[in-house]
Amino acid sequence: MNGQTRSQLQQGVEVDIVLKQDQRTGKMTRGIVKDILTKSPNHPHGIKVRLQDGQVGRVKNILK
């Protein structure tokens, strides 16, 4: 699943995100969602989240 729809995300879900500094390369970082930062129901570049380790980025993949 891609990370463009807020309703697909919740705390504790494992996701791949792209950090701000990695947007040019597209390098992904894997982690567990702590907070969902985007308020709108969807976002074309991915919902912004904070991982449990404190990193912030946009969700590209939601892992099952």
State pLDDT tens for residues 3-44.
999 999 999 999 999 999 999 999 999 999 999 999 999 999
- CATH code at position 40: 2.30.30
1 domain residue, yes or no: no
pLDDT at residue 1 above 90? no
* Structural domain that includes position 58: 6-62
The count of domains in the chain is 1
> Are the beta carbons of 18 and 58 closer than 8 angstroms?
yes
pLDDT band for 64, please (50, 70, 90 cuts): confident
Q: What is the pTM of this model?
A: 0.92
CA–CA–CA angle 51, 46, 6 (5° rounding): 80
pLDDT at residue 50 above 90? yes
Residue 16 is predicted with a pLDDT of 97
Residue 58 is predicted with a pLDDT of 97
Overall size of the chain counted in residues: 64
